[in-house]
Chains A and B, each alone.
Chain A
Amino acid sequence: MKDYFALIFTGGKSLIVGMMITLRELFRPVVTVQYPREKLPLSPNYRGHTILIRDEEKPEKHRCISCKMCERECPSNCIDLAGEKREGVKGMVLIKYRLDFTKCSLCGTCVEVCPPNALDFSKVYQHVGFSREDFHYDLLAMVEEDK
């Protein structure tokens, strides 16, 4: 009988202690963010989908030399690029760079292997689309649009 009341007492006390903790939480600053209206600052090292970056010396151009290292090393085979030889231009000219983002796992292998460091991660994290094809990004068009 004594044990029974002791249990009720300790049990009741533990519940009150718990309630006090939740009550105290009411007066602490809010930690949640009202997402679509408010956004948290994104880390500068965040990995979004890959993009072609511009040459610092010649800002009108990207650095890609169409060596296809990224295409070969990609674990998910999500890169499709092509280059062609043009008269009067040294090296290959990139004519197509498509990234199938539905397959990409953002491992960063392409960025690491790229000999001229032509690739980088973007900061895009909101991807919306109605079909798979919406996520087949044309990186060459993106870098040219960006001029």
Chain B
Amino acid sequence: MTTMAEKGEHRYILNMGPQHPSTHGVLRVILEMEGEYVMDPQPVLGYGHRMHEKMAESRPWPNFLPNAARMDYLSALIYNHGYVGVVERLAGIEATPRAEYIRVITSELNRLQSHLLWLGVLVLDLGAFTPIMYTFEDREKILDILEDVTGSRLTYCYMRVGGVVRDIDDKFVERTREYISWQRSRMPMYDKLVTGNIIFRKRIEKIGEFNPDMARRYGLTGPVLRGTGIPYDIRRAEPYSVYPEFDFEIPTETTGDCMAAYLVRVREIEQSLRILEQALDKLPAGPAMAKVPKKLKLPAGDACYAVESPRGELVYHLTGDGSDTPYRMKIRVPSFSNLSLLPELCRGMLLSDLCACMGSLDLVIPEIDR
């Protein structure tokens, strides 16, 4: 009698998702398993496809503003920033200096809340429930600050071509400063509770290692790339808005494993706080909205605008044809490239390590499908 293993029938297919807490959205991964080992993971995309790019091409350009927030719900303001940036670049409009500072401040707050959520859910994916409660306490403070100025808590539609909708006031500045010192006081606690935890370290150290060469091949960006030692950050490599005026570091690690991506993100929290502090100190007076023609037509031509989202490089490419409707709009999202690494990275890995890997890639599925 032959066993199943001898017949080669020991491989089986396991569907992870589309509804799985560890995929953080409707992502399906078809896993060809051999026992506990993943032999061939294949991501299946498109469950959340809403044709955002086509929507941009079929309606006047201002109508795309609320869409930008719906692609990546965790960094809506940074997506707002990219879109108004590309329209401004194409139409040759300049936002006021105060508006640029407000954009940087709100974007960095948005980045912080995204990193805090990621920190909580990464540890949650690995089986520790407590840290997410602490990160959400911090995150709630940011959401309250942003709600006060933008009016919403997650899907912001705050930036406009030429500036921002509502100017920030002294109360906002004061609350943000309070938050900065609060977050600084919390970081040693996370360091002890999460980074130092032996179980956590064993789960992510030396898991999902890759080298800079592989990262280049897949076009990885963001903290995952910086974890391999390449200091590539759009805020420095291709400076936009008022980022050149701030003094901050690009944290890098060299190991390229999940731990490296983790450490880079945690250190980025501190860098974002530094940018916030400097921006609040330098905040210029003046109007928060520039004079923009009421019926703005997009001139014929192309424009490209890249911003650094919490997950990596986000590029908007806009082609205008003289009307108010874009001729073509292409959005390059970071999570898509970061996810394409998964089949090669996770071959031969334990199923539980795959969850750690996906957690450290920090995928946001609606932005992949968009």
Q: Which residues of A contact B (CB under 8 A)?
A: 7, 10-12, 14-15, 17-18, 21-22, 25, 31, 43, 45-47, 73, 75-76, 105-109, 112, 121
Contact = CB atoms under 8 A, between A and B. Distances in A.
Contacts of B70: 105
A107 B65 contact: yes
Contacts of A73: 62
Contact of A43 (B134, B147, B157, B197): B147
B66 interface: yes
B151 A108 contact: yes
B1 interface: no
25 contacts: A7-B198, A12-B198, A14-B197, A15-B197, A15-B198, A17-B196, A18-B192, A18-B193, A18-B197, A22-B130, A31-B137, A43-B147, A45-B149, A45-B150, A45-B151, A46-B151, A47-B152, A75-B59, A75-B63, A75-B64, A75-B66, A75-B67, A105-B70, A106-B151, A107-B157
A73 B60 CA distance: 9
B63 A11 contact: no
B62, B67, B151 interface centre (most CB from chain A within 10 Å):
B151
Nearest to B145: A43
Contact of A14 (B62, B67, B137, B196): B196
A6 B152 CA distance: 50
Contacts of B165: 108, 112
Contacts of A21: 189, 192-193
Q: How many B residues touch the partner, as a band?
A: 20 to 34
Contacts of B157: 105-108
A7, A12, A109 interface centre (most CB from chain B within 10 Å):
A109
Interface in B49-81: 59, 62-67, 70
B146 to A, nearest CB: 10
Interface in B186-205: 189, 192-193, 196-199
Contacts of B63: 75
A-B complex: 8 closest residue pairs judged by Cβ atoms: A47-B151, A11-B198, A75-B63, A107-B66, A105-B66, A107-B157, A43-B148, A14-B196
Contacts of A46: 147, 151
A109 B62 CA distance: 9
Nearest to A10: B198
Contacts of B134: 25
A7 B201 CA distance: 12
A60 B193 CA distance: 60
B107 interface: no
B152 A106 contact: yes
B155 interface: yes
A144 to B, nearest CB: 26
Given A45-B166, A106-B151, A75 B198 contact: no
Contacts of A45: 147-151, 166
A27 B82 CA distance: 44
A22 B194 CA distance: 12
Contacts of B147: 43, 45-46
Nearest to A8: B198
Interface string B238-265: 0000000000000000000000000000
A112 B62 CA distance: 12
A75 B149 CA distance: 22
